[in-house]
């Protein structure tokens, strides 16, 4: 990493300047306590805060009130050097799916094109996603598959801080970060029922220098998912469960090119999840997933605690070996321990076309609930250092 640099004049002003100008959404007509649509009042307050000539401005959602918001985008760039969205109250999404379906929308609250945005305050975002879940094709096979909205979406944001929020019951993904740079996410409490389909906790795509720390995530899909275009991502201090674990991918769907690199996942606790730490890439894809480290991870009754699946396929279609794949290389696992709910605790299922290369395992102890565990791999080079249980052997 680069060494420290001199602060810019903008940063010095932010540290030593006057307090921010506060723009309260209630002053623009919000505050019906969930009875009426507050979206236009929020947009008016946002425009005022964003266009402030003060060095800093604050967009305030007061504590103790509930606000009904339709799908809304808060856009930059802003004239204020730094803007804070201080969410202290509760934001409620409409429960009627037609609000999104009639306009083909896939996001609820979006922040786009903003530099030095802070979103915090201890408030709650309630996605009211129940109608989306019960109409999902994953739960009702005859249903048409429709992508549900993401509750909180950040697109093309730089120097972004998101912390101290509760995000619950999203229609689909809870928090998404896309095409963003220099992002700090911390102290989020994200929750949805374990049976709710596709409700990823935090989803990172096409972003770099992202730090996710000290979050509690209990959902029906990946607690954290990191997909193509993401580099220099650190995930630390996450509690995950229920859910599908912490995933790199999926990568390379529909024969596409994908890349993820320089990811560190550490000090995570996974409890009762259907996967632990996972890398999944599609048959027929191209690109790479490399320089990824999982360390200091504690597993409790986790199915598939450590898994690489380079042969990921659409379960509705036949899965055949193809002549290309996303390369998986330089993957490190250190100090991973706990209990496995499945006999196979460690599995590296790699492609014949593009083998997994440079897998290093060090100090692993994954035991079964009253039974032995196993580790197997194929089409991979695996080095085992220190204490390893279960010891890995080539699948015959």
267 and 362 in a single domain? The answer is yes
**What's the domain range around 199?**
20-218
DSSP 45: H
Write down the pTM of the prediction: 0.94
- Residue 159 known to be catalytic: no
Same domain, 348 and 316: yes
CB 203 within 8 A of CB 177: yes
Is the distance from CB of 299 to CB of 340 less than 8 angstroms?
yes
Judged by average pLDDT, the poorest of 11-25, 239-253, 380-394 is 11-25
Task: Return the SS3 of 48.
Answer: helix
Q: For residue 246, which of 290, 319, 299, 192 has the smallest C-alpha distance?
A: 299
CA dihedral 128, 129, 132, 136 (to 10 degrees): -160
pLDDT the model gives residue 3: 43
Paired residues of 358 in beta bridges = none
* 196 shares its domain with 254: no
- State the pLDDT at residue 8: 53
- Active-site entry in 118, 244, 259, 286: 244
Per the CB < 8 A criterion, the answer to whether 35 and 50 are in contact is: no
Beta strand pairing call for 374-378 and 392-394: parallel
CA 29 vs. chain centroid, Å, equals 34
Give me the CATH number covering residue 38: 2.160.20.10
When pLDDT is cut at 50, 70 and 90, the band that residue 89 belongs to is very high
Does residue 32 share a domain with residue 136? yes
Asked, for residue 15, whether it belongs to a domain, the answer is no
Give the phi and the psi of residue 185 in degrees, each rounded to 5. -120, 125
Q: Give the C-alpha separation, 41 to 365, whole Å.
A: 55
**Whether residue 249 sits in one domain with residue 140:** no
What mean pLDDT do residues 249-263 have?
96
Check whether residue 204 and residue 150 sit in a common domain.
Answer: yes
Q: Are 40 and 91 members of one domain?
A: yes
Task: Report yes or no on 7 lying in a domain.
Answer: no
Q: What is the enclosing helix (H) or strand (E) of 12?
A: helix 9-16
Same domain, 239 and 373: yes
pLDDT in tens, 20-48: 999 999 999 998 776 799 999 999 999 99
- From 50-54, 58-62, 367-371, the region with the lowest mean pLDDT: 367-371
Residue 29 has φ and ψ, to the nearest 5°, of 105, 0
Edge-first strand listing for the sheet containing 277-282? 72-75, 107-112, 150-155, 175-178, 202-205, 224-226, 246-251, 277-282, 306-312, 344-349, 374-378, 392-394
Mean pLDDT is lowest, of 107-111, 316-320, 390-394, for 316-320
Both 108 and 161 in a single domain? yes
Higher-pLDDT residue of 299 and 323 is 299
> Quick check: 6 pLDDT over 50?
no
* DSSP state for residue 115 in the 8-state scheme: B
Given a contact cutoff of 8 angstroms between Cβ atoms, the answer to whether 197 and 138 are in contact is: yes
How far apart are the C-alpha atoms of 168 and 154, rounded to whole Å? Answer: 17
pLDDT in tens, 140-192: 888 888 999 999 999 999 999 999 999 999 999 999 999 999 999 999 999 99
In a domain? residue 2: no
Say how far apart CA 27 and CA 4 lie, in whole Å: 42
Q: Same domain, yes or no, for 151 and 240?
A: no
- Judge if 169 and 69 occupy the same domain: yes
Question: In the structure, what pLDDT confidence band is assigned to residue 396 with cuts at 50, 70 and 90?
Answer: low
Q: Does residue 289 sit within a domain?
A: yes
Cα torsion through 40, 42, 43, 48, rounded to 10:
130
Query: Residue 4 has what pLDDT?
Result: 42
Are 133 and 185 in the same domain? yes
């Amino acid at each position: 990493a680069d060494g420290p640099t001199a602060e810019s004049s903008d940063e010095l002003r932010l540290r030593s300047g006057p307090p921010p100008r506060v723009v309260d959404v209630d002053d623009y007509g919000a505050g019906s306590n969930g009875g009426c649509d507050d979206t236009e009042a929020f947009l008016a307050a946002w425009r005022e805060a964003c266009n402030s000539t003060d060095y800093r401005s604050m967009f305030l959602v007061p504590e103790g009130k509930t606000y009904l918001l339709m799908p809304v985008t808060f856009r930059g760039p802003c004239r204020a050097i730094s803007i804070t969205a201080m969410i202290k109250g509760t934001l409620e999404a409409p429960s009627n799916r037609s609000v999104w379906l009639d306009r083909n929308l896939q996001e609820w609250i979006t922040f786009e094109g903003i530099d030095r945005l802070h979103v915090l305050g201890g408030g709650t975002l309630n996605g009211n996603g129940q109608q989306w879940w019960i109409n999902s094709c994953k739960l009702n096979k005859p249903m048409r598959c429709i992508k549900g909205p993401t509750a909180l979406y950040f697109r093309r944001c730089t120097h972004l801080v998101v912390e101290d929020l509760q995000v619950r019951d999203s229609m689909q993904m809870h928090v998404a970060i896309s095409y963003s740079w220099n992002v700090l996410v911390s102290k989020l409490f994200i929750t949805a029922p374990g049976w709710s389909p596709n409700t990823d906790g935090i989803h990172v795509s096409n972003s770099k220098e992202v730090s996710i720390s000290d979050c509690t995530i209990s959902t029906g899909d990946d607690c954290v998912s990191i997909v193509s275009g993401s580099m220099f991502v650190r995930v630390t201090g996450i509690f995950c469960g229920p859910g599908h674990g912490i995933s790199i991918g999926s990568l390379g769907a529909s024969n596409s090119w994908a890349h993820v690199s320089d990811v560190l996942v550490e000090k995570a606790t996974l409890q009762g999840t259907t996967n632990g730490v996972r890398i999944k890439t599609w048959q027929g894809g191209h690109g790479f997933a490399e320089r990824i480290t999982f360390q200091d991870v504690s597993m409790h009754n986790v199915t598939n605690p450590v898994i690489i699946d380079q042969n990921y396929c659409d379960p509705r279609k036949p899965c055949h070996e193809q002549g290309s794949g996303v390369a998986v290389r330089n993957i490190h696992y250190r100090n991973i321990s706990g209990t496995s709910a499945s006999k196979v605790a460690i599995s590296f299922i790699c492609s014949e076309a593009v083998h997994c290369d440079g897998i290093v395992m060090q100090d692993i102890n994954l035991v079964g609930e009253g039974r032995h565990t196993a580790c197997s791999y194929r089409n991979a080079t695996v080095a085992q250092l220190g204490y390893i249980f279960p010891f890995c052997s080539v699948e015959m």
